[in-house]
């Protein structure tokens, strides 16, 4: 069982930056690849980024590539999402999730555990 708690959301102006954190409980954090997803009002939850168990491999949605960076610190049981050059269309609730599989996967149904989400609002 893995419990995930996101933090770091807030209100920021377009062009600004935020760093989200996701703290995981338990001693098995390094056994999971981690992902970030987001859900805007009236839209389905969508993939944002993923990082492998070791942190060596990362994968991004085209919409955030070059602006967002996912990273992890296995010693701290934490995964991060650094978001730069934010746009109003990045406004959403952001969720972190854990996936026990090794293969890169972006579908919601592939992830085993989810956090409660943190709101990110980007004003124009």
The predicted pLDDT at position 102 comes to 81
Find the mean pLDDT for residues 81-101.
97
The mean pLDDT of 2-24, rounded to a whole number, is 97
Report the Cα–Cα distance between both ends of the chain, in Å, rounded. Answer: 40
Beta-carbon contacts of residue 82 (< 8 Å; ≥ 6 apart): 17, 19, 68, 69, 70, 71
The whole-number pLDDT of residue 116 equals 97
With tokens 């124009």, the residue in question is: 124
Query: What whole-number distance in Å separates Cα of residue 73 and Cα of residue 102?
Result: 18
pLDDT score recorded for residue 45: 97
Predicted local distance difference test score (pLDDT) of residue 11 = 98
Between residues 26 and 8, the one the model is more confident about: 8
Is residue 54 classed exposed, middle or buried when 0-12, 13-18 and 19+ CB atoms within 10 A define those classes? exposed
What does the pLDDT look like over 17-61, one tens digit per residue? 999 999 999 778 999 999 999 999 999 999 999 999 999 999 999
For 49-81, the pLDDT digits (tens) are 999 999 999 999 999 999 999 999 999 999 999
């Amino acid at each position: 069982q893995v419990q995930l708690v996101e933090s770091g959301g807030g209100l920021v102006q377009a062009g600004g930056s935020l760093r989200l954190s996701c703290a995981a409980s338990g001693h098995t954090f390094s056994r999971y690849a981690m992902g970030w997803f987001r859900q805007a009002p009236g839209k389905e939850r969508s993939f944002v980024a993923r990082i492998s168990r070791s942190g060596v491999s990362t994968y991004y949605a085209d919409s955030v590539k070059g602006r967002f960076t996912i990273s992890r610190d296995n010693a701290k049981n934490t995964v991060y999402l650094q978001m730069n050059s934010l746009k109003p269309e990045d406004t959403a609730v952001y969720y972190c999730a854990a996936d026990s599989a090794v293969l890169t996967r972006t579908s919601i149904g592939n992830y085993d555990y989810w956090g409660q989400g943190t709101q990110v609002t980007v004003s124009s």
